[in-house]
Structure 1
Amino acid sequence: MNRRNKTITSLILMTALVLSTVGCGQTQEPKQNESQSTEQSQGQQEGANKEFSPKYQSDTEFKLSVVGTYSNFESLESEFERFYAYYPNGELEYTYLDDYINTITKALAGQETPDIYVVQPWMYGDERFDSLFEGAEVLSNPELEVNLDCIRTGLRWEMENDKILTLPVFATSYGMLVNVDIFEKEGLEVPKTFDELKEICDKLKAAGYESPIMGSNTSTTPGIGYAFAYPMFAKTIKDDRSIEEDLNNLVPSAGETMRASLTRLKELVDYGCIDIDKCTAEIEDDYNAVIMRFFEGDVPMMLCSGDVVSGTKKRESKSEAFEANPFEYDFYVAPSGDDGGYYMDSMNLLFCVNKSSANLDMTNEFIRFLANEKELGIMAQEKRLITPTKDYSLDEVYASLSDFPEDRTVNFRDIEIMDTAVKQFRAAAYAVINGKMTVDEAVEGYGTIPTD
């Protein structure tokens, strides 16, 4: 097989991966580069954007496999090519596993196990995925020299005994796409507070923009209610974590925690900042339709998630309107609060190293190569997701997130809310903006709101 033949396989090859009885072929042991060993033994790299320095000789032969949830992982394949510049005699292969939730544990228990695999935060603590974490390399081991200092503090996932088993690859958030050209044309600045948002919406409506804000009228995470109001809800929990247990146990009285965010969401609709009926009629799904409607060029602000933003780059050429009249757009936190919006600094995708890898030295070397502001930034830029590093500068779309106030930032370690509680909030938000429930009814009905 040509070493540059990086394949993306389907469920058929996945089955072969799980059931194969043929052991993994032996690979040449990496040779320590004596001229560099002294420098590398000094410990973990200092400085988030220090250049990568190879530990092994350039003629080292190896074969590494990565498995994950993306059917197309072009940004990772670009990193393969960049790694070949240091180690041209290697072969890296990415495999998409269909039905990942049910196939990843089988893949790790098979004969030809992957060297690197994808995990997500919600998997931790779920007994179905215990083997994913039990079998993971400790990346914070100083002997590996993986530069985890480049990762934002809120995304460094310390587990028991402060061990770090995962490398965040992409981050995401919730907020809104902003048509920068419209704001410049109308002589307006992007609002930072809720009062400013109302004032801006008044001016935009006077200028002929019927619904200054739009979004997908769904109860999903990219939908209107979640993208606008959930960060405020999360900040409420962060400020008083004593409520978490009752929220997770669906105790009705815990619904009071939703009141402030749902009230603000209702105010957004009642004030006329967003026309829910227009959104329903013109945006039929929470991903592709959101992007394509935004590219029509007449929507000042489009509520969405970072995962939706990730689809914009490929769709620019698919929009006749955008091709004819391209415009600048950026992602901003939705200004739901009196003092400003709330930034949900959320993980999107993480890598674990299989500590039983037959190619463990070079697998760790590839992770060490990735753990750099430059490489992770390039990957995020190509995927158009948020970088997990401290430097947002590579992708101007997310420049507004740089130096966002810490007191209005919520990361995954700040709250521990189970999916059942999140679904209650999503359902409540959807019911409120569509007039199916009042805020009082949603608050009082917590734990019993239909989520289907």
Structure 2
Amino acid sequence: MNRGIKTILSMTLVAMMGFNLASCGQDQGQIQSQNQSSEQSEQQEEASEGFSPKYSSDTEYKLSVVGTYSNFESLESTIDRFYEYYPNGEITYTFLDDYRNTIGPALAGQEPPDIYVVQPWMYGNPLFTSLFDDAEVLSAPELEINLDCIRPSVQWEMDNGQIVALPVFATSYGMLVNMDIFEKEGLEIPETFDELKVVCEKLKDAGYASPVMGANTSTTPGIGYAFAYPMFAKTVKDDRSIENDLNNLVPSAGEAMRASLTRLKELVDLGCIDVDKCTAEIEDDYNAVIMRFFEGDVPMMLCSGDVVSGTKKRESKSETFSEKPFRYDFYVAPSGDEGGYFMDSISILFCVNKNSATLDMTNEFIRFLTSDDELGRMALEKRLITPTKDYSLDEVYASLGDFPEERTVNFRDTEILDTAVKQFRAAAYAVVNGEMTVDEAVASYGTIPTD
């Protein structure tokens, strides 16, 4: 069968439709089903053996999903596999522009979505209370959703112990590593900061002017945040008594930034990274980072997992990489004396609307999705980190598989609010660019200008 998902990109269009997300026409993103018994039996034979359908294969249904991605091809693939079990249905995906301000009205509309995206920062914000109040309890035993396949570090239990959101993608901060360069120069991937210093010196001697590169921005994929924030988060994890003051921008709380900013300054002062070169050659924190890395002469490129997610599609867009491809992997940046720190962060989650008109089939789709195979495939196609316990499907992230728990920081280990995060990002950018000393940045906490 020929099926595809055409995403609806305009929020204005969604408003015109009165949020009629579940009854879009064929030209508005509808995935239509054809009732052909011979094809049904063929598809059933090809379907994955790990999922046992609860309902008849001729069940008719309509489901709608809304989210933050304008292009959600990995979801399309999952839906296609779901159709192998339930071909007599249609599923629409709609990208909501300005999601922060449009998801609430969408849920309150006459025909609200059955499944919707949430992100961790939304929890606790009064603007998004309804997103969690209206969510199905996915941990309810009768739903038989295999949440055990989700690794504990990204399982999101509410205060009452219930799970109402399914992690779909995880992400982190670290560096893309050109494995061919390390093999050519006979070097091991550095695991500690001392090892990084030695490796950078050897790489400079071999002609690599800036062994480490990255986007010189104050954003999360930028140099300062990708390298130093995990160490800062570990400091907070180890002493959560400072968390309140950090979140309330108490000036004395800036002392918590000292160790990570000092290490960041050391990275620059030692010449491991040439900030001027990064500024001149990398124009933005996403596309330019990837395309510069694909030139093949950057041993280590600081970035986030969200940047890594864009690599697969851009391999063919880089003439240099197409002509001379190389192997690359993602590693935690070795900022600490004992090793780096793995930020095991959630990128997006799915919630099920408990008021869905087709709640049984919506829960069935989530049950189908919640497995090592399906979540792993979705992460692989998007090239983000799987939320499951099995990292092996995408070798780019294989280094994370056995990462020590004592140097892992997950989203439940800290509760650093966005205001504090912005202060750290601004401080790191100022230190990287020589606009502030570490002492000045620490002393200015709470008043550092942010974007």
| TM-score grouping bracket, smaller chain normalisation | over 0.9
Aligned to 1:90: 89
Aligned to 1:199: 198
Aligned to 2:110: 111
Deviations 1:280-321 (A, max 9, x none): 000010000000000000000000000000000000000011
Aligned 8 A contact 2:19 2:110 in 1: yes
Cα displacement (A) at 1:52: 1.4
Change (3 A) 1:174 1:24: closer
Q: Describe the SS at the equivalent of 1:13.
A: helix
Q: Report the identity percentage.
A: 78
Aligned 8 A contact 1:17 1:110 in 2: no
Q: Describe the SS at the equivalent of 1:137.
A: coil
Cα displacement (A) at 1:51: 1.4
Q: Describe the SS at the equivalent of 2:273.
A: coil
Q: Describe the SS at the equivalent of 1:160.
A: coil
Matched residue count: 428
Aligned to 1:349: 348
Change (3 A) 1:365 1:275: same
Cα displacement (A) at 1:445: 0.6
Kindly report which structure 2 residues correspond to 1:356-395, keeping only aligned pairs within 5 A, or say none.
356-395=355-394
Deviations 1:356-379 (A, max 9, x none): 101000000000000000000000
Cα displacement (A) at 1:10: 2.3
Cα displacement (A) at 1:160: 2.6
TM-score, normalising length: structure 2:
0.93
Q: Describe the SS at the equivalent of 1:336.
A: coil
Unaligned runs of 5+ in 1: 26-48
Aligned to 1:430: 429
Query: Matched residues in 2 for 1:272 and 1:169: separation?
Result: 38
TM-score, normalising length: structure 1:
0.92
Deviations 1:229-282 (A, max 9, x none): 000000000000000000000001100000000000000000110000000000
Aligned to 2:235: 236
Deviations 1:74-118 (A, max 9, x none): 000000100011111111111111111111111111111110000
Cα displacement (A) at 1:15: 1.1
Change (3 A) 1:397 1:171: same
Query: Matched residues in 2 for 1:448 and 1:408: separation?
Result: 30
Aligned to 1:442: 441
Aligned to 1:13: 13
Change (3 A) 1:216 1:54: same
Aligned 8 A contact 1:193 1:339 in 2: yes
Root-mean-square deviation (CA), in Å?
Answer: 1.7
Change (3 A) 1:229 1:23: closer
Aligned to 1:33: none
Aligned to 1:410: 409
Report the AA paired with residue 59 of structure 1: D
Aligned 8 A contact 1:79 1:375 in 2: yes
Report the AA paired with residue 338 of structure 2: D
Aligned to 1:32: none
Unaligned runs of 5+ in 2: 26-47
Cα displacement (A) at 1:195: 0.3
Kindly report which structure 2 residues correspond to 1:179-194, keeping only aligned pairs within 5 A, or say none.
179-194=178-193
Q: Describe the SS at the equivalent of 1:149.
A: helix
Q: Describe the SS at the equivalent of 2:334.
A: coil
The yes-or-no answer on 1:101 pairing with 2:100 is: yes
Aligned 8 A contact 1:213 1:300 in 2: yes
Change (3 A) 1:197 1:21: closer
Query: Matched residues in 1 for 2:123 and 2:21: separation?
Result: 29
